[in-house]
Structure 1
Amino acid sequence: MKRQPLLMLLILGAFWVQAQNKQQVLDYLYSISGKQIIAGQHNKEPNIEPTKWTDYIYETTGKYPALWSGDFLFQQENIDNRWKMIKEAEKQWNNGAIINLMWHGCPPDMGEPCGWDPGLLNAQLDDQQWEDLITEGTELNTTWKKRMDDVAVYLQYLEDKGVVVLFRPFHEMNQGLFWWAGRKGEKGTAELYRQTHDYFEKEKGLSNLIWVWDMQDMSRDFEEYNPGNDYWDVFAFDIYDGGYDKSWYDYILPIVGDKPMAIGECMKMPSKKVIKEQPRWVFFMPWAELVKESNSEEEIQDTYNHQRVISRDEMPGW
């Protein structure tokens, strides 16, 4: 009879510690907003090499990115190596990095693995399928919950290890080529985001996720995709076209309010001019191989040596 109260105390204690860890990361992001910017780096295919592009940055600059990003991905070989990617997330966290995870989930009417195009791209659900997806108890809805169950196992492992995750599902909501994206309004992409948020937090009990709402520099209709302030903690903006233009920054500011905002993906690293004139960005994250293809070694070194750019050795530790 005495064991049950003790077990409850242990569970509550673990939740309290995780809540403290999550708040510590959020507080840090708030504290640097307008002052400094974290250097990040995405690592995608292959998951068997989860530091491929982070290591490239170190080889080029002598410094590690302060934000490490991985991806659950969708090809069989990468699905098979998800645990390797997750263990690297744990290692990076223990070394002081912020962890960002993406989820390129296959369409719910397809099995896993799936292709890129068609697959993630150009395999949109029709209107009835979309309605089924967001309706409790339908076949597509049940399928999607099983996909979330699979991913939750990895996120729960990280929670058990004390790792906080910037979680960014359904990125680039206004990029209509993705099966999840381009659906405006209350019952569109934002609703799928809300349901996924609630499933992970309420049904799976995860408390280590910092939710990232992500858009791309292609259409100024962000409010059509906003899940609601209670559903996201950090806003991320993917820059592939003209997104560094200050008009984009000025457009985003009133939408974000005082929440942290970041350059979620980019080909080119932000210039000195951008860093100076757009101080609210709390991190930038070049996309995997594009960091090498779109930036010279000298440009990368200049960015990492900028007085306002934070590398991993300058992080406070968790």
Structure 2
Amino acid sequence: MSFAGAGAEARGLYAWLWSLYGTRTLTGQQENPGLPRGELAYIERVSGRLPALLGLDYIDPADWTGVRKRALAWHRRGGVVTLCWHWGSPAIGTGYENSKRDFDVAAALRAGTPERRLMIDQMDAVAQELAWLRDRGVPVLWRPFHEFSGDWFWWGKHGPQGFRGLWSTMYDRFCRTHRLDNLIWVLGWAGQNVDARYYPGRGMVDIAGADIYAADHGNLAPMFAAVKAIVGDTVPICLHENGPIPDPALLAHDADWLWFMTWHTRWLAGADQNTAAQVRDAYRSERYLTLDEIAGRGRNRTGTGDRG
């Protein structure tokens, strides 16, 4: 793993993920913070199964206690937890719309500025939430600054250099200051712009991926190839967000996604995204692993396949 001090839980999960890569794909679902059980209930109703991977978001500090509880409960059921952060512009406020407002990243990357203090204080607050999970043995697929190579979020508005500065600042702060040894660092490009200049390097990345909200259920092989051209075989590659679930019959060596993670609300159940039959068939396919198939399989034990 990238962090030499990674704990046994993170190393065990990472080794298990490597053992799956190229042969099986984890089903994943991002929860709707406003109705956290909604997507899970729908998937279970139409397929009889649940996703292996649950996505949660630190978008709303008022819900952080809820995020803690839901992440811990999912881990205890045998599922895998991934967390992202729709981080509102540090100088403006929280929420999705504020994550699209700008912030002076250049100033935040300079020592002693008010912008840096704001940024670090907010990083530290989220670090405390991740530490709460660490202290309860929960490994986390940590996916910060998602879609950084697009220009819609503030962390993507300042080009490759600005992004790499943000990533390295958070990586150092979380790993070395807060000793968050439960994190597996997931780097997620925007699929429209998989640009090597944004890559922080293997020393700060454990899993790479890209996302795009496609118009069909294809395998997104060109996007997989674009990521692989940058990271090669050094880290597994995931589809870190999606609308239509890729047809599992189309996944092969040219699109060996480690997981998919369908976004919530209409992106899961909209008629133009996934029909109930398509969700059912995906969740019952041989390629895709569901919660019942991974629970109790010792995924938190440190394995022999750790490629880190």
Q: TM-score, normalised by structure 2?
A: 0.88
8 Å contact kept, 1:134–1:191: yes
2:138 partner SS: coil
- 2:181 aligned residue: 207
Superposed counterparts of 1:22-37, under 5 Å: 22-37=10-25
* Residue ranges of structure 2 left out of the alignment (5+ in a row): 301-308
Structure 1 residue 149, shift from structure 2 partner: 1.6
Q: Which is greater in Rg?
A: 1
Answering whether residue 263 of structure 2 is matched by residue 287 of structure 1, we say yes
**2:9 is aligned with what amino acid?**
N
Instruction: Measure how far apart 1:30 and its partner are.
Output: 0.6
The answer to whether the 8 A contact 2:224-2:237 is kept is no
Cross-structure match for 1:231: 204
Of 230, 249, 268, the residue aligned with 2:224 is: 249
TM-score, normalization by structure 1: 0.85
In structure 1, the residue matched to 2:89 is 107
Which of 290, 293, 296 is the aligned partner of 1:314? Answer: 293
Q: Is the 8 A contact 2:221 2:255 kept in 1?
A: no
RMSD across aligned C-alpha pairs, in angstroms?
1.9
- Equivalent position to 1:263, from 239, 248, 264: 239
2:53 corresponds in structure 1 to 67
The counterpart of 1:45, out of the listed 33, 39, 46, is 33
Secondary structure of the corresponding residue to residue 173 of structure 1:
coil
Tell me the secondary structure at the aligned position of residue 268 of structure 1: coil
Q: Please state how far the C-alpha of 1:244 moved relative to its aligned partner.
A: 4.1
Count of aligned pairs: 288
Q: Give the match's secondary structure for 2:197.
A: helix
Structure 1 residues without counterparts, runs of 5 or longer: 1-14
Write the distance in 2 (CA, Å) between the matches of 1:277 and 1:51.
34
1:300 aligns with 2:282: no
Q: What is the one-letter code of the residue matched to 1:32?
A: L
- Are the structure 2 counterparts of residues 190 and 51 from structure 1 closer, same or farther at C-alpha, using a change threshold of 3 Å? farther
For residue 277 of structure 1, report the CA deviation from its aligned partner.
5.4
Does the CA contact (< 8 Å) of 2:22 and 2:253 recur in 1? no
Using the TM superposition, give the Cα deviation of residue 279 of structure 1 relative to its aligned residue in structure 2, in angstroms. Answer: 4.7
Q: Which has the higher contact order (CA 8 A, sep 6+)?
A: 2
Q: Quick one: distance in 2 between partners of 1:92 and 1:220?
A: 32
- Structure 1 CA distance for aligned equivalents of residues 143 and 32 of structure 2: 14
Q: Give the match for residue 250 of structure 2.
A: 274
**Percent of aligned pairs sharing the same letter:** 27
